[in-house]
Chain A
Amino acid sequence: MDVTATLGAAALVTALAASVLATLASTVGHLRRQRALLAAGRRGIDAVAALTTVAVAALLYALVTNDFAIAHVSSVSSRNMQTAMKWASLYSGQPGSLLFWTWTLSLFLAAFTRITVPRIPWAAPHAVATAGVILAAFLAGLVFLASPFRLNEVPPLDGRGLNPLLVDPGMLIHPPFLLAGLVSTAVPFTLGTAALLSGRLDGAWVRHARGWALASFLVLSIGNLLGAWWAYTVLGWGGYWGWDPVENSAILPLLPMTAFLHTLLVQERRGMLKTWNLVLVLAAFALAVFGTFNVRSGLVASVHSFAQSEVGAYFLALLAITIVVSVALIVWRVPRLHAEADLDALASRETALILNSYLFVAIALVILGGTLFPVLSELVRDVRVTVGPPFFNAVIAPLLVLLLVLIAAGTVLPWRGGSSRQHARRLRVPALVFAATAALVGALGMHEPLALAATSAAATIGYVTAREVAVGARGLRAARAVSWPAALLGLLERDPRRYGGFLVHLGVAIIAVAVVGSMGYQQQTRARIAPGESFEAGGYTFRYVDLVARRPGVNGIEVEGLTIIDVERDGRRVATLRPGRRFFSNFPEQPIAIVAVDSDLRRDVYLFVQGWDAQKRAEIQVFINPLVAWLWIGGGVYTLGGLLAFGAVGRREPVRALDAAPGAASAGGPA
Chain B
Amino acid sequence: MTRPPVRACALAALAFGALLAVALASARGVEAQTPSTPSPAPTAAPPRIPTDAEALAVEHQLLCPLCVNERLDICTLAICNDMKQIVRARLAQGASTEEIIAYFEERYGPHIRAEVPRRGFNLVLFGWVGGALAFTAAAAAVVLTSMRRATLSRARGFSGAPSEDPALDTLIETAEREEFGAPSNGRAGDGGGR
Contacts and interface: CB of A to CB of B under 8 A. Distances in A.
A610 B19 CA distance: 43
Nearest to A343: B147
A478 B168 CA distance: 12
Contacts of B39: none
B149 interface: yes
B6 interface: no
A421 B183 CA distance: 9
Contacts of A449: 26, 29
Interface string B17-46: 001101110111111011000000000000
Given A369-B129, A478-B171, A344 B156 contact: yes
Interface residues of A, number: 113
A242 B166 contact: no
A394 B68 contact: no
A22 B168 CA distance: 44
Interface in A234-277: 236-238, 242-245, 269, 271-272, 276
Nearest to A589: B77
Interface in A634-664: 648, 652, 654-656, 661-664
Given A343-B149, A387-B116, A394-B27, A479 B143 contact: no
A349 interface: yes
Nearest to B125: A373
A365 B136 CA distance: 9
Contacts of B85: none
B63 A386 contact: yes
Interface stretch (A27-35, A54-62, A108-116, A410-418): A410-418
B115 A390 contact: yes
B148 A342 contact: yes
Most buried by B among A422, A472, A581, A670: A422
A381 B120 CA distance: 11
B95 interface: no
A303 B162 contact: no
Contacts of B140: 354-355, 358
A471 interface: yes
Contacts of A654: 164
A548 interface: no
A380 B33 CA distance: 32
Nearest to B188: A416
Interface of B: 1, 8-9, 11-12, 16, 19-20, 22-24, 26-31, 33-34, 52, 56, 63, 67-71, 73-74, 76, 81, 109-116, 121-122, 124-125, 128-129, 132-133, 135-137, 139-140, 143-144, 147-149, 151-152, 155-176, 178-181, 183-185, 187-194
The 7 lowest CB-CB distance pairs between A and B, nearest first, are A414-B159, A398-B23, A662-B191, A475-B171, A415-B160, A475-B175, A342-B149
